Amino acid sequence: MLEKALTGGKGYWRWVTLLLGLMALGFLSYMRQFATGLGITGLSRDVTWGLYIAQFTFLVGVAASAVMVVLPYYLHDWKAFGKITILGEFLAIAAVTMCMLFIFVDMGQPTRVVNIILYPTPHSLMFWDMISLSGYLVLNVLISHVTLDAERKGVKPPAWIKPVIILSIPWAISIHTVTAFLYSGLAARPFWLTAILAPRFLASAFSSGPALLILMCLILRRITRFDPGSEPVQKLALIATYAMSINVFFVLMELFTALYSGIPEDIEHFEFLFLGLNGRTTLVPWMWAAEILAVTALVLLINPRTRRKESTLAVGCVAVFLSIWIEKGLGMVVTGFVPSPLGKVTTYVPTVPELLISLGIYATGLLLITLFYKIALSLRGQVAA
């Protein structure tokens, strides 16, 4: 099956080379970080987690969102999703792999990372996050391999895979819930200490993930002979619309509780996000951009005419994706640290090596997606000549 990834046109190879180049750049930057330490990043004594952990958090959501095609197809028999479940599962594999890489590059002592397995610690949420993420990876690799293999042979998938697929549904919910618990269980950080964090994570995941899948379907239709048809795209759009509305609703609830209760330590974090604190305004333009994008997305998605038209739908999906990337991939993690428990407001800006390492990891994920989709579509004979 894998040999299908090794044949392709000029455009395919140009794209793969570009990704490999970015990966090499990221790897070289990581070697520098490995030699000199995490001081090479913009992190500091007060802002101890930054871009890496934020990307991890965001991508857990993308991984979990595969459930939004698997669940309707297997539990509600939405036949329209038949062609795209495999795309969702492959996206999940690539996203979980990126999550693991982002965690790995954030470790101060990466060579000791096996200590998490050597000294299993059930009272640490990180232990459970490791279990849920690696389990989810195994599930998706198994499911996609077995179903694709059956498709290649022109037979029905074996019956035993069905319960495994059903298991992957609550498992997907668990990966993002446990990831939210990493944050929401800390008494030290009022910004994260909110029971709505896990539901918020899920809502944002179930809007950004399907939005990304829609965009991928549209791109694949352009560059390959794969055509999912308009029905699954429209159903995904509906899911993204509901999830994004719920996400924005949850954010407003957070704002209400913090602002109306008036507890200073709760307000300060939102002040830092949207107005700036002690003159530090690094995140302010980003956060306002995220809000404008969120409103744009809602307008385009809720309005049936713009949702049904593919060009406006695409714009809406890009807006959803960017808005949630800013919210989770930039704002959520760093703001938990500002102000610090001792009242310090520290600016965090990622450095060039930090950005290159992150870019390298994203390139790795994109390469995986490219290879997986190439294999799947080659098997179906849907690759462009």
Partner 1 sequence: MGEDRRSFLKLAGLAALCAAGKSSLSRLEGSAETTSVEAPKGVRRAMVVDLVKCLEKDDCTACTEACRRAHNVPSIPDPKHEVKWIWQERFRDVFPDEEAPFAAEALTARPALVFCNHCDNPPCARVCPTQATWKRPDGIVMMDWHRCIGCRYCMAACPYGSRSFNWEDPRPHIKALNRDFPTRTKGVVEKCTFCDELIDKGQPPACVAACKEKAMTFGDLNDPGSEVRRLLRSRFAIRRKPGLGTQPEIYYLV
Question: Which residues in this chain contact partner 1 in the complex, by CB under 8 A?
Answer: 36-39, 43-46, 48-49, 106-110, 112-113, 115-116, 118-119, 121-127, 130, 182, 185-189, 265, 336-337, 340-344, 346
- Please name which of 118, 125, 210, 237 lies closest in space to residue 175, comparing C-alpha atoms: 125
Cα 32 → chain centroid: 26
Q: What is the closest distance, in whole angstroms, from the C-beta atom of residue 133 to partner 1 in the complex?
A: 13
Which residue is it, tokens 């030699």?
A: 35
Which residue is it, tokens 């190439």?
A: 374
Cα 266 → chain centroid: 27
Nearer to partner 1, 9 or 37 (CB): 37
Q: What is the closest distance, in whole angstroms, from the C-beta atom of residue 261 to partner 1 in the complex?
A: 15
Q: What are the C-alpha distances in Å from 233 to residues 139, 210, 320?
A: 25, 9, 15
Q: What is the closest distance, in whole angstroms, from the C-beta atom of residue 99 to partner 1 in the complex?
A: 14
Nearer to partner 1, 44 or 306 (CB): 44
Nearer to partner 1, 346 or 382 (CB): 346
Q: What is the closest distance, in whole angstroms, from the C-beta atom of residue 272 to partner 1 in the complex?
A: 16
Q: What is the closest distance, in whole angstroms, from the C-beta atom of residue 134 to partner 1 in the complex?
A: 14
Nearer to partner 1, 224 or 358 (CB): 358
Q: What is the closest distance, in whole angstroms, from the C-beta atom of residue 245 to partner 1 in the complex?
A: 31
User: What are the counts of helices (DSSP H) followed by strands (DSSP E) for the chain?
Assistant: 15, 0
Tokens of 205: 């995941």
Q: Taking a C-beta distance cutoff of 8 angstroms, is the pair 244, 294 a contact?
A: yes
- Please name which of 59, 96, 121, 83 lies closest in space to residue 328, comparing C-alpha atoms: 59
Nearer to partner 1, 7 or 36 (CB): 36
Nearer to partner 1, 303 or 346 (CB): 346
